[in-house]
Structure 1
Amino acid sequence: MKEIIPYIFAILIGLFTTAESYMSSELGEMTSPSISTFYNLFIGAIVFAVPLVLSNNINKSVEILKARPLLLTGGIFGAFIIYFIAKSVPILGLTVTLTLSIASQTLSSFYLDTFIYKHASLGIYEIIGVLFTLVGVWFMVK
């Protein structure tokens, strides 16, 4: 049963990304993309702060000070993702925005897994997968 949980989480990532993209773009049009981004991150921080405080793991938070500073910049990427979604969805729509986003995630992670981390090989099936990804993007954007 444990093996299915990561698959469920991966599916939820896709569903949540779509929902978050819609909400960010709507809120961004009502206010501004910057305000939308701020409140998305603020509410998200509260959502994760409450169980952190209630579980007494707040003491473990000091371990973050031992992390390489570069590892702490992930939040910057998260902020830009929300901001870029709020700016792109009203112009491109959810489907095109997320198709481009998913394709760029797929291709960049494939690059990292294959050439940097060496977790994947570069064979004919992988090349076909990359080509199908690019063709799929072309059809969705067209």
Structure 2
Amino acid sequence: MKELLPYIFAILVGLFTTAESYISSELGEITTPSIATFYNLFIGVIIFSIPLMLNSNVAKSSEVFKTKPLLLTGGIFGALIIYLTAKSIPSLGITVTLTLVIASQILSSFYLDTFIYKFRPLGINEIIGVLFTLVGVWFIVK
């Protein structure tokens, strides 16, 4: 079961991404994408504050100020992901938007894994996978 858990988490991330994208774009249409992004992140802070306080990890959270400032930029990317998704969906729809999001995630992570971190060697399977990803995007976007 322990080996299965990361796969379940990854599938949940995909499902949650779709749900979050839809909800943020709907809220962004009623208000603005900026307001939708703010409330999305604000509610997230409230939700994650509860277990942080209950587990007495508040003292441990001060360690974040001892890290490299670059490691704190994830929040900027998270906010931009929510905002740009909320801006894209009304024009492109959920399927095209998330197809482009997922394809760009696959291609950028492939680049990092293969050429920067050297987790994966570049072989024929990887090249075929990249080509299939690009062809799949083309078919869905067209």
> Structure 2 stretches of 5 or more lacking a match?
none
Confirm whether residue 137 of structure 1 aligns to residue 137 of structure 2: yes
Equivalent residue number for residue 44 of structure 1: 44
CA distance in 2, matches of 1:49, 1:80: 21
Shift of 1:47: 0.5
Q: Tell me which amino acid in the other structure corresponds to 1:63.
A: E
Q: Tell me which amino acid in the other structure corresponds to 1:49.
A: S
Equivalent residue number for residue 97 of structure 2: 97
SS at the partner of 2:2?
coil
Q: Tell me which amino acid in the other structure corresponds to 2:137.
A: V
Q: Tell me which amino acid in the other structure corresponds to 1:98.
A: L
Equivalent residue number for residue 66 of structure 1: 66
SS at the partner of 2:59?
helix
Paired residues for 1:89-128 under 5 Å: 89-128=89-128
Q: TM-score, structure 2 length as denominator?
A: 0.99
Equivalent residue number for residue 12 of structure 1: 12
Q: Tell me which amino acid in the other structure corresponds to 1:93.
A: G
CA distance in 2, matches of 1:137, 1:32: 28
SS at the partner of 1:57?
coil
CA distance in 2, matches of 1:118, 1:85: 30
Shift of 1:66: 1.2
SS at the partner of 2:58?
helix
> Structure 1 stretches of 5 or more lacking a match?
none
Aligned residues: 142
Confirm whether residue 54 of structure 1 aligns to residue 69 of structure 2: no
Shift of 1:65: 1.1
The percentage of aligned residue pairs carrying the same residue is: 76
Q: Over aligned residues, Cα RMSD in angstroms?
A: 0.4
Shift of 1:31: 0.1
CA distance in 1, matches of 2:141, 2:26: 22
Q: Could you list the per-position Cα deviations for residues 71-123 of structure 1 after superposition, in whole angstroms to 9, with x for gaps in the alignment?
A: 00000000000000110001100000000000000000000000000000100
Shift of 1:3: 0.2
Q: TM-score, structure 1 length as denominator?
A: 0.99
CA distance in 2, matches of 1:63, 1:100: 36
